[in-house]
Structure 1
């Protein structure tokens, strides 16, 4: 039963939401948290840039069909599902939560957990490293563009030049600086993975606390009754199930090996909370951010539980 229990980070997220609900930050304190959050996000993307080895990416580009399939699932299949399923998903949630679902569909794949589950399932780990890393890098550019396209018809506007500039300044420039500094500090960053994990999770918790503090002050829990929360869980389960089925049987139809199929399933069906929360903070500055990030927070835990079971099942069949 341990595989179905939430991990330590998920518990931290729950406690952070609870803290924001009981003690929301406001006024000058909220401004301090905003500044701290911006700095933490910049440091996070700098460290990701310093960690990502260019040599591994170049070496893994040979398996271009696999990488193209993963990117198509991440940045084409998911957005299409979000739009096509609107008549089914939108009635289950509020308009702001459905906007969060569309945002979820635009996000890149995870890195650490995609690689970990591929390894457990005995898939193509080197390809998973490249596919997940490429998805994370390209997501800095593709996700904001997809957000602009998907929300254009929802009454929330589209991409603005201010948003583009904010993405470049807060996300891309720190990442590029990390890539430049990789020659000097890349080995040190990779050897101190705990530091990156601390910054990774700490920045997410900061954004979640400030976002939910503002949402609570705006009456979040009065606008989120239990049936709506249950509808959001159902919507997330439907999206994940369809993505898992599409990547599994799609990879088989395209003639991939079993090892490559495993990589495509775990890299092409997942969404990154680590990338999603910072991008949401930049793109949805004037919107109820708590509602926007709630879908990806729930999707994060659901995908971990489901993929843990699926990885062990794959492993048992190849033993």
Structure 2
């Protein structure tokens, strides 16, 4: 149940941006650097994606359908059900951040790692998590547009999709097409690639919170707001895990498949969410929009680590 080191670094970056925000010409320079970093991030995502790994678990369509339903249907529905708690429990701005969180694809690395640790169906997890990441590039901006329009907010969905295609999908496809040429190098240097990915995310967070600080984010968000984000995140994650677990059992899935469904269907991707927010939303609002995602990211890692150990212990007791 320890804190994720990368989350601690993210918090440090937010503190630095709060104390030393980039402004003026520096802000413009960092904005251009951020676009290049996001393009590199998604290029590497495409280069890391193995078609063999996707095809290996593709035959388990019922499992994948349930995972995709959890990621792109259940989460958005639960996000809409939070509407009665606005503004009593959460502010309208933070609520939009939760709607954005609910529209995001699942993680890849942590979902597979927890599935493997718990003794689940790893091949199916690789397929589901990878497919969710790819579909999210298309579906997430559409879902964001639909969810925000339902709340009476205005968003240019088509323009957002065009931006996603140009800034995210094009580098992703280019990276995947380049995999036959650079795939071996990428596979051999995955720790280095991971550091590049994390550095890109930290840069986006710094620029986003710098703009938010200049716009007065900490006059709009207090400790009570952060506590409400944490409480709502706990409820949201608990509901999704319980619903996925019960659905897997009632539909007759094996224990290994249940583990895959629980871990792949309950995650939301920080790696995709941070750069996508930078493309979809005005710079001044990105900081607030990312707060629910950042807290939910840490919470999902802590809870799923404990849950994976519990599955692991249950398997050891059954074989003892």
Q: TM range, normalised to the smaller chain?
A: over 0.9
Decide which of 283, 287, 290 is 1:293's aligned counterpart: 290
Matched, 1:204 2:193: no
Distance 1:49 1:225 in 2: 38
Matched, 1:68 2:65: yes
The more displaced of 84-93 and 239-248 is: 84-93
Show structure 1 runs of 5+ residues with no match. Answer: none
1:282–1:195: structure 2 CA closer, same or farther, 3 Å change rule?
same
Aligned to 2:108: 111
Decide which of 10, 24, 44 is 2:41's aligned counterpart: 44
Matched, 1:85 2:78: no
Deviations 1:186-226 (A, max 9, x none): 12112211122112111111111111111111111111121
| Equivalent pair of 1:93/1:229 in contact (CA under 8 Å) | no
Aligned to 1:11: 8
TM-score (normalised: structure 1) = 0.96
1:90–1:316: structure 2 CA closer, same or farther, 3 Å change rule?
farther
Aligned to 1:99: 96
Deviations 1:274-314 (A, max 9, x none): 00011111110255111001100000000001001000000
Aligned to 2:226: 229
Segments ≥4 residues shifted beyond 4 Å: none
Distance 2:21 2:34 in 1: 15
1:21–1:219: structure 2 CA closer, same or farther, 3 Å change rule?
same
Matched, 1:240 2:241: no
SS of corresponding position for 1:91: coil
Aligned to 2:190: 193
SS of corresponding position for 1:128: helix
Matched, 1:57 2:54: yes
Decide which of 148, 155, 180 is 1:158's aligned counterpart: 155
Cα displacement (A) at 1:179: 1.2
Matched, 1:218 2:201: no
Cα displacement (A) at 1:36: 1.1
Distance 1:197 1:239 in 2: 28
Decide which of 165, 168, 174 is 1:171's aligned counterpart: 168
Cα displacement (A) at 1:90: 4.8
Distance 1:159 1:247 in 2: 33
The more displaced of 4-13 and 233-242 is: 4-13
TM-score (normalised: structure 2) = 0.96
Cα displacement (A) at 1:227: 1.2
Output the aligned Cα RMSD.
1.2
Show structure 2 runs of 5+ residues with no match. Answer: none
Decide which of 282, 293, 306 is 1:309's aligned counterpart: 306
Aligned to 2:25: 28
Cα displacement (A) at 1:156: 2.7
Deviations 1:140-180 (A, max 9, x none): 00000100100003343133332121101110000110111
The more displaced of 278-287 and 117-126 is: 278-287
